[in-house]
């Protein structure tokens, strides 16, 4: 039987409407309009699309948004100075530096320069540490979006076999931690995992974030599993596809996210949620 399709676009739309209502209430009650600054260095076309989408989503949610475009030859000192200015800017509650940065820039140093209370990506070591102990202000946007999809779909996590394929700092590692906090039994797979299919076939909930087009095929999943595809790959014919081969997996899974229209719209939604959280904290300090 074909799997139920998890409609990330619909769930993102409903969640964004709720965020917009809460942002409007915050502004009416405190005068604080949530504000997000996005810094983009260089002219990578994919990054430019992501940044444009973030700005548009902010504005649609009634938030203030600025995009700071810096040339590809920006120095580390210039980028640090820009972050320093945004740190002091009271209109800005969230600062996001779009990754990847050009090779000559030190990404870790840039992430560490963003003040943790404005770190709406939740990439700063202080925030990643807080996630580890389960006491956090912000969650990284993509894993948080995945959790929101599971919650919306009424998918129980406690006691389930959860397999995360991919161990990046942005998705795989925090995703594993969030599933663990929700009492899943969590396994993380990566490029050195010996028999990947043997592990993925054990999963009741499978989250895939490796950046390899159509990598997970129907024979690698358990019948009835929930399959969440974080991948976003562009094929030679310019079509987007995930890390999961949708055609074969949707015949075996119980529920599955499509690409596009699955996890993607949730990532920006959680960025809006984090910006609102940061603005609320700033507003409560002013009172």
Could you say which residues in the range 135-154 bind ligand GUN, by CB under 6 A?
141
CA distance 248 to 240: 17
Number of Cβ atoms within 10 Å of the Cβ of 143? 29
Question: Going residue by residue from 119 to 138, which x/- string records binding to ligand GUN, judged by CB under 6 A?
Answer: --x-----------------
Q: Is 98 a catalytic residue?
A: yes
For ligand GUN, which residue of 65, 98, 269, 274 counts as binding (CB under 6 A)? 98
* Nearer to ligand GUN (CB atom), residue 255 or residue 272: 272
Question: Going residue by residue from 158 to 197, which x/- string records binding to ligand GUN, judged by CB under 6 A?
Answer: ------------x---------------------------
Q: Is 273 in the site for ligand GUN (CB under 6 A)?
A: no
Sign of CA dihedral 163, 169, 171, 174: positive
Could you say which residues in the range 44-73 bind ligand GUN, by CB under 6 A?
none
Piece of 77-85, 95-103, 124-132, 184-192 that binds ligand GUN (CB under 6 A): 95-103
Q: Which residues pair with 255 in a beta bridge?
A: 4, 226
> In whole angstroms, how close is the CB of 271 to ligand GUN at the nearest point?
7
Buried b (16+ CB within 10 A) or exposed e, 112-136: ebbebbbbbbbbbeebbebbeeeeb
Q: Is 121 a catalytic residue?
A: yes
CA distance 283 to 287: 7
Burial category of 218 from C-beta neighbours within 10 Å (exposed 0-12, middle 13-18, buried 19 and up): middle
Q: Are 279 and 26 in contact (CB under 8 A)?
A: yes
CA distance 21 to 124: 28
Number of Cβ atoms within 10 Å of the Cβ of 169? 13
Q: Is 99 in the site for ligand GUN (CB under 6 A)?
A: yes
CA angle at 81 for the pair 78 and 86, rounded to the nearest 5° = 130
Which position among 118, 119, 121, 243 bears the catalytic label? Answer: 121
* Nearer to ligand GUN (CB atom), residue 43 or residue 219: 43
> In whole angstroms, how close is the CB of 97 to ligand GUN at the nearest point?
6
Q: Is 54 a catalytic residue?
A: yes
Which position among 98, 173, 222, 229 bears the catalytic label? Answer: 98
* Nearer to ligand GUN (CB atom), residue 196 or residue 259: 259
Q: Is 96 in the site for ligand GUN (CB under 6 A)?
A: yes
Maximum Cα–Cα distance for the chain, whole Å? 57
Q: Is 243 in the site for ligand GUN (CB under 6 A)?
A: no
For ligand GUN, which residue of 23, 37, 79, 97 counts as binding (CB under 6 A)? 97
| Rg from Cα positions in the chain | 19
Give residue for tokens 């548009």: 56
* Nearer to ligand GUN (CB atom), residue 165 or residue 249: 165
What is the set of active-site residues? Answer: 54, 98, 121
The contact set with ligand GUN (CB under 6 A) reads 96-99, 121, 141, 170
């Amino acid at each position: 039987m074909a799997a139920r399709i998890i409609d990330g676009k619909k769930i993102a739309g409903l969640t964004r409407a709720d965020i917009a209502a809460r942002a409007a209430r915050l502004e009416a009650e405190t005068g604080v309009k949530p504000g997000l600054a996005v810094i983009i260095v260089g002219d990578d076309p994919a990054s430019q699309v992501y940044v444009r989408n973030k700005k548009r989503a902010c504005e649609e949610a009634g938030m203030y948004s600025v995009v700071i475009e810096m040339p590809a030859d920006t120095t580390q000192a210039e980028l640090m100075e820009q972050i320093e200015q945004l740190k002091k800017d009271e209109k800005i509650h969230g600062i996001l530096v779009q990754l990847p940065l050009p090779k000559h820039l030190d990404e870790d140093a840039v992430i560490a320069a963003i003040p943790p209370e404005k770190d709406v990506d939740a990439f700063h070591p202080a925030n990643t540490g807080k996630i580890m102990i389960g006491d956090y202000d912000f969650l990284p946007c993509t894993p948080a979006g995945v959790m929101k999809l599971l919650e919306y779909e009424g998918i129980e996590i406690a006691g389930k076999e959860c397999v995360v394929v991919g161990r990046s700092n942005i998705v795989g590692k925090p995703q594993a931690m969030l599933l663990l906090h929700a009492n899943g039994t969590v396994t993380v797979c990566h490029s050195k995992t010996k028999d990947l299919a043997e592990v993925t076939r054990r999963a009741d909930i499978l989250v895939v974030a490796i950046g390899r087009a159509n990598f997970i095929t129907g024979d690698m999943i358990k019948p009835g599993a929930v399959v969440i595809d974080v991948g976003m790959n562009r094929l030679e014919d310019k079509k987007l596809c995930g890390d999961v081969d949708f055609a074969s997996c949707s015949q075996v899974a119980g529920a599955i996210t499509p690409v596009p229209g699955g996890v993607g719209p949730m990532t920006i939604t959680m960025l809006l949620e984090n910006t609102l959280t940061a603005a609320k904290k700033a507003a409560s300090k002013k009172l």
